Chains A and B, each alone.
Chain A
């Protein structure tokens, strides 16, 4: 069969397989979705999406297909075009694999949920939007996917909508993403007016691309991928159920911002200012998130901050002009991060809702599979040699060390790598080892294959994915081949230093007594004071001023000052000045007559 046809057809069949459970219940009353059918759909779609991926790995074939054009204005084309290139063909199987595992896990985790089918349909809709974003060849389709994932994120974070904290978190996600969307729409407007096209292929220039659209794209990525400045929504998004955190806020949605920058990297390549901005922003995000993760006590928040930190690392890679490596890190990160979230979900459910790691401990005997996979996930995150994270993370650090870049960005990223090891080990030690600090009566078991098989599948992925991707995908840019031994082993040395730091701190908490608060602990545990400062200040000012403008300014000014009272005030002012003359004396009146006659005479005799 002709390979191009096979490629295009299989990708389209994958998408169709996913859209079918959304459409069929609308068409007939007899067809109802169940969580099992949706999970099976995703599994089928995963199997089908392996075909184009293997075709790409074998022959390097990419394609762009264009179906239909929205004839909106005559000289601006908006085709419905899909790009099957390295990134989308690799992302499809990975996203579908991770989603399949998460949905299988969610059949157990959300089993007591009355609206479980709606939950699964929401997750499916999210996945469709995300894959649309991935496969889009123009900014219009990408924007549809972008907004789609934003909306589904809102609905899923606020799933338990009776909870005020969940509603606040969902609102935070929407608002911060909206600020990023301003940047995206700005870039789209600029592209439409200057390049007259929203196609990815047509938006490049040999000379330096102007910085304005790139700033817009970077703002969009800051919002969606929770870089420093627009980051608070990501830890707050942990209010949603754990499958939501695993799918959206670790593997797929938050990488949409980075994916946008990967797609538009020809524009970024020749603008060094934008690249340095990406580098510095990424370095700051990664360090800030790693610092905040050091003192968190909620297991999901620690994993959320580690996601934020890895996103900063991906942004740094973009700043080094290495989009393929950033995508590689996205792929490997999806595996172990989703696995970490699933393990934490298993632990939380088994401890009957306990999320505080200070109340966990000694879980290795009751939950062997979960804790082993948690360890594997943490090792992969730290970049242990030859697990998945090593192939992408070590390459990034090597490229950082051997490039011409901002020194402080380099130092921050290395420091963040060290902190990654520290907080991962802290989490592992407090959750799995030591004396159990859980409640004494807890029926913990992992006898259910719906828990163990997704987690073990993702563990297999965390171990093998890095090796597989490196073996089969040729790098586009020359990786650094030679470097001094210290540079080569920098990542692993720093990780070991971080592990030593964590072990030291762990023994310190047992032996020495520390004061409850000091400056650095306060800074780290309240997430850098960013949340209260930004949220309280901006919302109070906006709401107060909005109230004043709406009710006081508009009501007072338009209905009173512009109307009767304003007129009355003017009249009053005029009469107050003129009543001085109304004295009642003949002399005054004769004076005014004389004055007016003089004025008339003087003006008449002028001409």
Chain B
């Protein structure tokens, strides 16, 4: 059957009594209850829970719903479908975020710069200009047989 009117979410709580009633409705303590700010976006009195994904909840505790790691009656996050175990993981990383970002960007930029350098100074087998015998084919190219041919030095790679 449908939920009764007092169990459904309502408007933004303005007085402390309304806040207490809303906290009781959502099964939360009055100290923990914090609604979203009233800026016209339609949150009403829904509680603003910390942005922690379900990855951070204890995997070994006997939850009522083990796949959602959620107990019956516990208030769910507004964006709960973002924080399930198939989506965003907000659990703390072993290395802080800024260190991770810095190290990754250092790695990536080093690679890209070195690839750029590698393009400017490529590696290839040693090559040299073509060398012909008989004084660079002096006679075959139509040189004068009576004159002294120019001296040609050849190199060995």
Task: Report which A residues bind B (CB closer than 8 A).
Answer: 164-165, 167-168, 171, 276, 280, 284, 402-410, 483, 517, 519, 522-523, 526, 528-530, 532-533, 535-536, 539-540, 543-544, 547, 551-552, 555-556
Contacts and interface: CB of A to CB of B under 8 A. Distances in A.
Nearest to A525: B94
Contacts of A522: 94-95, 103
11 contacts: A164-B86, A284-B115, A405-B124, A407-B121, A408-B111, A522-B95, A523-B103, A529-B103, A530-B104, A536-B88, A544-B79
Nearest to A530: B104
Contacts of A402: 125
A409 B86 contact: no
A508 to B, nearest CB: 23
A529 B115 contact: no
Nearest to A168: B86
B117 to A, nearest CB: 7
B103 A519 contact: yes
A463 B103 CA distance: 41
A534 B74 CA distance: 31
A586 to B, nearest CB: 43
A408 B88 CA distance: 36
A536 B121 CA distance: 38
Given A280-B115, A406-B115, A552-B42, A529 B104 contact: yes
A388 B51 CA distance: 53
Contacts, number: 91
A172 B149 CA distance: 74
Given A532-B93, A533-B100, A410 B123 contact: yes
Given A408-B117, A532-B89, A552-B41, 15 more contacts: A165-B85, A167-B86, A171-B86, A405-B123, A407-B123, A410-B118, A523-B103, A526-B95, A529-B95, A535-B88, A535-B89, A539-B82, A539-B88, A540-B82, A544-B79
Contact of B79 (A164, A408, A547, A556): A547
Nearest to B104: A529
Nearest to B69: A164
Contacts of A532: 89, 93, 100
B64 to A, nearest CB: 17
B79 A284 contact: no
A121 B86 CA distance: 27
Contact of A543 (B87, B114, B119, B121): B87
Contacts of B41: 552, 556
A406 B100 contact: no
B61 interface: no
Nearest to B107: A528
Contacts of B100: 526, 529, 532-533
Contacts of A517: 94
Contacts of B93: 526, 532
B41 to A, nearest CB: 5
A408 B114 contact: yes
B42 A556 contact: yes
A165 B118 CA distance: 40
Contacts of A530: 104
Contacts of B89: 532, 535-536
A526 B82 contact: no
A167 B103 CA distance: 30
A543 B82 contact: yes
A526 B86 CA distance: 19
B94 A543 contact: no
- Give the 9 A-B residue pairs with the shortest CB-CB distance, closest first: A408-B118, A406-B118, A529-B100, A164-B85, A404-B124, A407-B118, A407-B123, A408-B114, A543-B82
A543 B115 contact: no
B40 interface: yes
Given A406-B122, A409-B115, A410-B123, A533 B82 contact: no
Nearest to A291: B107
Contacts of B79: 543-544, 547
Nearest to B78: A547
B108 to A, nearest CB: 9
A491 to B, nearest CB: 16
Nearest to A538: B88
Nearest to B126: A484
B24 interface: no
Contacts of B94: 517, 522, 526
A522 B107 CA distance: 13
Contact of A523 (B42, B101, B107): B107
